[in-house]
């Protein structure tokens, strides 16, 4: 079993060296390339105001954060969630520098993020796969067919969920494509034929609109990472053999 945690943060400003702090942590768990349904999400009181430019990006006001816990109050719960996992972070140096500072302020016994999990920078992966192209989260969503139309402002949990979809699409050729990976609740909701019916006649389960759209998005992602395109679509191409 491979356990990964997709992580994002929001902060009071861009420079940790100017005493800016973390105000939101969002984490989504993937187990063997499938969302497990487990997540960690917490807003934090940074003990200082956010820069106006930062508020314009994430929309989180100082007033909203006043009654939220301090990082030191949730550090044990957060570390327990990420412990031993592979952390997927876009532009990891930024988030890790802030989180390492928060851990230092919480107490020397907590060490650094790298003491608890393996850090993987998805921005570095994207730059290797798409050199010379724009590799922001929004750009990757557009390139890989991940729907981000609901992302009007940055948010740690929202961005972690989007990054999970982006990473799965971006690494689709590296191991299982997860074409059959379905949320447990969705799988359980599918009607199942009775045993007697299976014994007497074949059962055909037709794809619904959601299945077709999910399949189309996956094929779009495969087409972007495979020069020859997906085998499922070759019959659709004008230059395909008759």
**For position 239, what pLDDT does the model report?**
39
Residue 122 lies in a domain: yes
**For position 152, what pLDDT does the model report?**
63
**For position 210, what pLDDT does the model report?**
55
**Are 18 and 117 within one domain?**
yes
**Are 47 and 161 within one domain?**
yes
| Angle formed at CA 17 by CA 132 and CA 104, multiple of 5 degrees | 110
**Are 11 and 83 within one domain?**
yes
Q: What CATH number has the domain bearing residue 38?
A: 3.30.420.10
User: Residue 211 belongs to what domain range?
Assistant: 184-236
Of 170, 197, 221, which one is at a domain's C-terminal end?
170
Residue 138 lies in a domain: yes
List active site positions. 154
Residue 175 lies in a domain: no
Backbone angles phi, psi at 85, to 5 degrees: -90, 170
**Are 151 and 39 within one domain?**
yes
**For position 242, what pLDDT does the model report?**
32
Ranges under pLDDT 50 in the chain? 175-205, 230-232, 234-242
**For position 229, what pLDDT does the model report?**
55
**Are 192 and 106 within one domain?**
no
| Angle formed at CA 9 by CA 132 and CA 5, multiple of 5 degrees | 85
**Are 119 and 27 within one domain?**
yes
Tokens at residue 120, please? 């993987």
**Are 111 and 206 within one domain?**
no
**Are 163 and 232 within one domain?**
no
**For position 201, what pLDDT does the model report?**
41
**For position 174, what pLDDT does the model report?**
54
CA distance 42 to 25: 5
CA distance 157 to 89: 12
């Amino acid at each position: 079993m491979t356990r990964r945690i997709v992580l994002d943060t929001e902060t009071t400003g861009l420079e940790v060296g100017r005493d800016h702090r973390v105000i939101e942590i969002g984490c989504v768990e993937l187990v063997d390339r499938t969302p497990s349904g487990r997540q960690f999400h917490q807003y934090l009181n940074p003990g200082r105001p956010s820069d106006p430019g930062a508020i314009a990006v994430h929309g989180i006001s100082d007033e909203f954060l006043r009654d939220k816990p301090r990082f030191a109050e949730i550090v044990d719960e957060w570390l327990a969630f990420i412990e031993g996992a592979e952390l997927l972070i876009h532009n990891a140096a930024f988030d890790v520098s802030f989180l390492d500072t928060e851990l230092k302020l919480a107490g020397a016994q907590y060490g650094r993020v790298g003491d608890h999990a393996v850090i993987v920078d998805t921005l570095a992966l994207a730059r290797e796969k798409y050199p010379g192209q724009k590799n922001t989260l929004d750009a990757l969503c557009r390139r890989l067919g991940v729907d981000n139309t609901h992302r009007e402002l940055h948010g740690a949990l929202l961005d972690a969920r989007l990054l999970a979809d982006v990473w799965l699409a971006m690494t689709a050729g590296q191991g299982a494509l997860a074409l059959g990976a379905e949320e447990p609740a969705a799988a359980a909701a599918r009607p199942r034929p009775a045993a007697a019916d299976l014994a007497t006649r074949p059962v055909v389960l037709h794809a619904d609109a959601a299945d077709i759209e999910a399949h189309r998005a996956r094929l779009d992602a495969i087409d972007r990472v495979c020069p020859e395109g997906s085998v499922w679509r070759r019959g659709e191409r004008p230059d395909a053999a008759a």
